[in-house]
């Protein structure tokens, strides 16, 4: 009966109640959405590289090296020589070495030159190896292996011929159309930048840029960066130091975890700003709720007096106002969850292709539930002022 009374009372004032619920819904949507995207982005970044002990590139900031080698963001400042690669790959402490050569693109997607070690040793998420959805790794000079998103977005099949362009723009003038590549494999989705990458052999990269096809012309002169797996983790710092002190050319080795931590630190400011804005939006909505309830007390004066006359206590009147606020909050939470769910479903494709962000719809985790509980608590606090007002009015001590 108590619940019916509160619900019907709200329905009876639908205009102001609906507006309040709408404001609350928007604010809860923003708050939960920001938190969710934040966590997902973090998880998505952290799962991009796994099992790699050192990333080696030309001297730059460790963040820059991480961004261009792993996330394909920004441009490398300098290359490292083929000799340096060969020397490091042959080092007795090095178990495997993946060369990475960047700088070309296809319709806005980056082209990565590498060798078979990439498919053998590259790991993401929980040390998961790359697997093929269709086809196999590149074998011939002009073979290309597509990331899942590339194949999906451009609708490429095995056997399709594609033209790679120099530079990383979408509409590069210099198309290497003399050398069309053939799709030999399509990777399974990883939720990492691998999905947005086209993989060719290092020789293939050279073939784009040179006209001769002799073995000597196809040997790379330099690569962009390399990923190293070591035989013993204990050697990591020792190897890192000796690479950083390499005499022949300015090299740098970074630990992916340390560089990622630096990335978090930079993002923390942005994250906190977003969270703060979300909290302010919620506070504004709660103040609106409080104002609406206080304004409604005047028109409900007689209703509350009536309740008292038929035997309701002042606490009943207090609890009624609180219950109405909490009901509005619960409706808003439900609407916000539905909106977020449909929103993520509707925009997940755009998020993946534009930002490489894979946002899942399982945002109802323990963290979110704690947030929602706090929102309900804050709502009951905001309803305190109107509820106390109603409590005092119902005492009739004008």
Instruction: Compute CA distances 53 → 158, 245, 343, whole Å.
Output: 34, 18, 38
Backbone phi and psi for residue 61, each to the nearest 5 degrees, phi listed first: -80, 150
Instruction: Compute CA distances 57 → 4, 10, 15, 78, 228, whole Å.
Output: 68, 64, 62, 8, 11
Give the closest residue to 237 by CA, choosing from 54, 71, 113.
54
Closest distance to another protein from the beta carbon of 323 (Å): 15
Q: Which is nearer to another protein, 249 or 303 (CB)?
A: 303
Tokens 């704690």 -> residue: 370
Residues that bind another protein (CB under 8 A): 1, 4-5, 8-9, 11-12, 302-303, 305-314, 395-398
Instruction: Compute CA distances 277 → 113, 272, 274, 301, 336, whole Å.
Output: 42, 9, 5, 37, 17
Q: Which is nearer to another protein, 90 or 310 (CB)?
A: 310
Closest distance to another protein from the beta carbon of 395 (Å): 8
Closest distance to another protein from the beta carbon of 336 (Å): 27
Token digits of residue 297: 């007390």
d(CA 194, CA 372): 35
Q: Which is nearer to another protein, 255 or 305 (CB)?
A: 305
Q: Which is nearer to another protein, 176 or 392 (CB)?
A: 392
Closest distance to another protein from the beta carbon of 291 (Å): 22
Q: Which is nearer to another protein, 12 or 360 (CB)?
A: 12
Q: Which is nearer to another protein, 4 or 216 (CB)?
A: 4
Whether residue 156 contacts residue 133, with contact meaning beta carbons closer than 8 Å, is answered with no
Closest distance to another protein from the beta carbon of 19 (Å): 19
DSSP secondary structure code for residue 71 in this structure: S
Q: Which is nearer to another protein, 1 or 90 (CB)?
A: 1
Whether residue 144 contacts residue 184, with contact meaning beta carbons closer than 8 Å, is answered with yes
Q: Which is nearer to another protein, 88 or 317 (CB)?
A: 317
Closest distance to another protein from the beta carbon of 328 (Å): 16
d(CA 361, CA 350): 15
Closest distance to another protein from the beta carbon of 301 (Å): 9
Closest distance to another protein from the beta carbon of 22 (Å): 21
User: For the chain, what's the residue count?
Assistant: 398
Give the closest residue to 243 by CA, choosing from 391, 69, 87, 9.
87
């Amino acid at each position: 009966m108590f619940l019916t009374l509160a619900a019907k009372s709200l329905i009876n004032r639908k205009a102001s109640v609906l507006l309040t619920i709408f404001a609350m819904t928007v604010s809860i949507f923003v708050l939960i959405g920001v938190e969710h995207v934040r966590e997902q982005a973090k998880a998505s970044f952290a799962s991009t590289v796994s099992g790699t002990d050192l990333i080696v590139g030309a001297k730059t900031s460790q963040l820059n090296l991480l961004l261009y080698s792993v996330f394909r963001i920004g441009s490398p400042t300098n290359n490292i020589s083929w000799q340096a690669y060969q020397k490091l790959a042959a080092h007795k402490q090095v178990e495997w070495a993946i060369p990475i050569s960047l700088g070309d693109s296809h319709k806005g997607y980056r082209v990565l030159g590498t060798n078979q070690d990439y498919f053998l040793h590259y790991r993401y998420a929980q040390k998961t190896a790359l697997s093929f959805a269709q086809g196999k790794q590149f074998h011939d000079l002009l073979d290309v292996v597509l990331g899942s998103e590339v194949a999906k977005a451009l609708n490429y099949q095995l056997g399709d011929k594609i033209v790679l362009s120099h530079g990383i723009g979408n509409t590069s003038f210099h198309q290497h159309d003399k050398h069309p590549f053939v799709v030999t494999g399509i990777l399974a989705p990883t939720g990492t930048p691998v999905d947005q990458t086209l993989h060719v052999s290092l020789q293939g990269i050279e073939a784009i840029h040179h006209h001769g096809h002799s073995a000597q012309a196809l040997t790379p002169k330099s690569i962009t960066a390399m990923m190293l797996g070591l035989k013993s983790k204990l050697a990591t710092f020792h190897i890192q130091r000796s690479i950083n002190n390499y005499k022949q050319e300015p090299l740098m080795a970074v630990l992916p975890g340390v560089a990622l931590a630096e990335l978090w630190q930079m993002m923390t400011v942005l994250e906190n700003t977003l969270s703060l804005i979300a909290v302010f939006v919620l506070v504004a909505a709660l103040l609106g709720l409080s104002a609406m309830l206080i304004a409604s007390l005047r028109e409900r004066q007689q209703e509350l007096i009536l309740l008292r006359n038929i035997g309701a206590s002042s606490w009943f009147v207090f609890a009624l106002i609180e219950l109405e606020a909490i009901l509005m909050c619960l409706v808003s939470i439900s609407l916000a969850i539905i909106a977020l769910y449909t929103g993520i479903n509707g925009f997940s494709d755009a998020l993946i292709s534009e930002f490489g962000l894979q946002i899942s719809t399982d945002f109802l985790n323990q963290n979110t539930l704690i947030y929602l509980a706090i929102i309900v608590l804050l709502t009951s606090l905001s309803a305190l002022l109107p509820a106390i007002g109603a409590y005092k009015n119902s005492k009739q001590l004008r």
